[in-house]
């Protein structure tokens, strides 16, 4: 009897839960990115959901399957749970595939503040064709830092984030740094949100820019 009662309680607890549809931020098209169960709205807030850029945009070309976006729920309305950006990172498998023998890997950790007051930790990485000197590594690292900081100072959070994720900023680093030493690839391997200003309305970006 005890086992039956315990099973009944578990079943009742589960049937009390309802499913919430997770919604991507406006600047990522407000796409439905999953579902999560809960028996109260408050338990959904601050939950995170992970999705690849390929799944989000339905574009499985290039590096999109290796780019992961982590969103966090900040508001629940009805059956919808609305999310905002929390973190971006490349998959470990993809990063490992870029490491080659007798080459150099150059990375950095850069804290920046965007034009509209968002503080982000950005981690770019560059891979050379052959092994380079320490002085060349320092020069390439300086270019990475200067480029990331320049874009952050000139752009709002949404613009900066999209240009990191979609490849414009890595491409600009590549173009500038290859004059120091031949590069094989440049990526932004991780972005973390450190601080967001209060009562600041995020500017919407046309969906076409996200899915291009």
Q: What is the pLDDT of residue 53?
A: 95
User: Quick one: CA torsion of 94, 140, 110, 96, rounded to 10 degrees?
Assistant: 10
Label residue 203 by pLDDT band (50, 70, 90).
very low
Q: What is the pLDDT of residue 199?
A: 67
Residue 10 scores a pLDDT above 60: no
E strands, 46-182, are 48-52, 67-77, 80-90, 105-107, 110-113, 119-128
88-97, 131-140, 143-152, 195-204: which range is least confident on average? 195-204
Average pLDDT, rounded, for the chain: 90
Distance separating alpha carbons of residues 10 and 26, to the nearest angstrom: 37
Distance separating alpha carbons of residues 210 and 204, to the nearest angstrom: 11
Contacts of 22 (CB under 8 A, 6+ apart): 32, 33, 34, 35, 36, 49, 71, 73, 81, 83
63: tokens are 């590096």
Positive or negative: CA dihedral 73, 76, 81, 82: negative
Distance separating alpha carbons of residues 148 and 170, to the nearest angstrom: 9
Q: What is the pLDDT of residue 103?
A: 97
User: Mean of the pLDDT values across residues 171-179?
Assistant: 98
Residue 61 scores a pLDDT above 90: no
Q: What are the beta bridge partners of residue 193? A: 120
Tally DSSP H helices, then E strands, for the chain: 7, 9
């Amino acid at each position: 009897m005890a086992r039956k009662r315990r099973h009944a309680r578990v079943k009742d607890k589960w049937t009390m839960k309802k499913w919430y549809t997770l919604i991507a931020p406006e600047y990522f098209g407000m796409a439905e990115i999953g579902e999560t169960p809960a028996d109260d709205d408050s338990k959904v807030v601050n939950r995170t959901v992970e999705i690849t850029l390929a799944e989000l945009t339905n574009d499985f070309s290039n590096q999109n399957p290796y780019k992961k976006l982590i969103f966090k729920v900040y508001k629940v309305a009805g059956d919808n749970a609305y999310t905002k950006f929390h973190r971006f990172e490349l998959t470990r498998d993809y990063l490992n595939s870029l490491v080659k023998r007798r080459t150099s890997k150059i990375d950095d950790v850069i804290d920046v503040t965007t034009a509209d007051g968002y503080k982000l930790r950005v981690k770019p990485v560059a891979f050379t064709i052959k092994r380079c000197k320490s002085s060349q590594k320092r020069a390439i690292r300086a270019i990475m830092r200067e480029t990331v900081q320049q874009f952050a100072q000139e752009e709002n959070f949404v613009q900066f984030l999209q240009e990191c994720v979609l490849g414009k900023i890595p491409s600009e680093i590549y173009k500038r740094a290859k004059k120091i030493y031949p590069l094989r690839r440049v990526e932004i391997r991780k972005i973390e949100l450190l601080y967001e200003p209060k009562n600041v309305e995020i500017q919407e970006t046309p969906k076409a820019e996200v899915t291009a």
